[in-house]
Amino acid sequence: MQYLRRNTNMKIKTNKNTPQFKTVNESQPHKFRTKTHHFNHENGFSTRTRDAKQEKTETKSHTFSYPAEARKANGTGKVRINVKNNKLATEKKTGPLSPRAPEKIKKNRAEEMKVYGENACLSVFQQRPQAIVRLWATVEGAKKLADELSYLANQKKAYHIVDRIEMDRVTGTPHHGDICLLVKKSAPFILEGYLNIPRKRDCLVLLDNIHNAQNIGGIMRTCAFYNVKGIIVENSDTLHSSAAARVAEGGLEFIRPLESKHKEIALTQLRQAGYQIVHLTRNKQAPSLAKTTLAAKVVFVLNEIPTQDIAYPNDTTVQLSFENLLNSSLNVTVSAGILLNQWYQTHLI
């Protein structure tokens, strides 16, 4: 009896592998919910639902406050700060230099140029600030441009503070003076139209086959020094060179490019307008500049290597030295300075 009582208190073990059957009510379809969809078997459609955690995350607003003004680099005055809206990121870019507007890029490259060097850039700010498109500067360069950066900020024009490596890449040279501008080129003049305006006193320079940017920049700097504003070229891009603008130290902003289709056409037009045309030569039979009378209206024809011959006997041909021991002559920039100084001493003093 004790054995039987002990066995009746034992729990009956069930086999887990025994199949379990649901009742009819339990087997009916029911509504169920997931994190993404709610499906109703009764009407057969699903509706988009959101997880509570997801809704909380999405509805939570992130607001950042930016200062509306900041102090200038020199410590005096303030600069307005404009923060771009996120909506601008979805708008199609069609502005200058936009990668989505290749036709504008091609046009802008023909109308714009880069100017670098401290004096060259400051001259642009002084003479043609409206022509500036954008500015790059290193930290060292930005310290010198407090007023200029304020102007760009007020005009809503872009400027970038970059390191020297990036500045070298933008300008293509290490000789940038920590400042670079992208500017609109000044409009050239046509020589024929320029000569239609009568002038009693005028001095021009004609560049004959000069392509060295260093020499072109030096000539522009010399012309600006003596207040000579007209330089005759076949293509104004000869003067609109970034390297030449740097050497000119701001002289480009005071020069008027006068375009002519060909040198001979220009010389003919100048003779008809009453200009004295002066050529340089190494021929020692030619008179010296000191003994030559320069007219009030004169054109100096410059080339990098003066010829030994007198190519234009009807024009004025001079030499600068009877004691020249070289097979060549002076650098064309130096020659330009001597010629312009002679005319300046004669007619402007």
Q: Looking at residue 335, which CATH number applies to its domain?
A: 3.40.1280.10
Give yes or no: residues 294 and 335 share one domain: yes
Q: How does pLDDT run across 291-318, given as a tens digit for each residue? A: 999 999 999 999 988 877 777 888 999 9
Of 184, 211, 226, the one marking the end of a domain is 184
Please provide the DSSP assignment of 286-349 as one string: SPBGGGSPPPSEEEEEE-SS-BSS-S-TTSEEEBS-SS--SSS---HHHHHHHHHHHHHHHHT-
DSSP-derived 3-state class of residue 272:
helix
Amino acid letter at 142? Answer: A
* Prediction pTM value: 0.70
Give yes or no: residues 193 and 245 share one domain: yes
Give yes or no: residues 131 and 217 share one domain: no
- The CATH code of the domain that includes 109 is 3.30.1330.30
Of 132, 161, 184, the one marking the end of a domain is 184
Give yes or no: residues 106 and 242 share one domain: no
Residue 64 placed within a domain: no
State percent of the chain over pLDDT 90: 60
Query: Can you give the pLDDT at residue 322?
Result: 86
Give yes or no: residues 193 and 342 share one domain: yes
> What range does the domain containing 241 cover?
189-347
Give yes or no: residues 234 and 164 share one domain: no
Of 138, 167, 184, the one marking the end of a domain is 184
Give yes or no: residues 283 and 178 share one domain: no
Amino acid letter at 323? Answer: E
Could you tell me if 311 and 279 are in contact, meaning their C-beta atoms sit under 8 angstroms apart? Answer: yes
Q: How does pLDDT run across 40-86, given as a tens digit for each residue? A: 545 554 445 455 555 544 444 455 565 667 777 667 777 666 655 54
Give yes or no: residues 325 and 198 share one domain: yes
Residues 6+ apart with CB under 8 A from 122: 148, 250
What gap in Å lies between CA 111 and CA 113, rounded to an integer?
7
Number of domains making up the chain: 2
DSSP-derived 3-state class of residue 86:
helix
Residue 159 placed within a domain: yes
Give yes or no: residues 267 and 150 share one domain: no
Give yes or no: residues 139 and 257 share one domain: no
Residue 96 placed within a domain: no
Query: Can you give the pLDDT at residue 30?
Result: 56
Q: Which residues of the chain are under the pLDDT cut of 70?
A: 1-68, 73-74, 79-106
Give yes or no: residues 136 and 205 share one domain: no
Give yes or no: residues 304 and 219 share one domain: yes
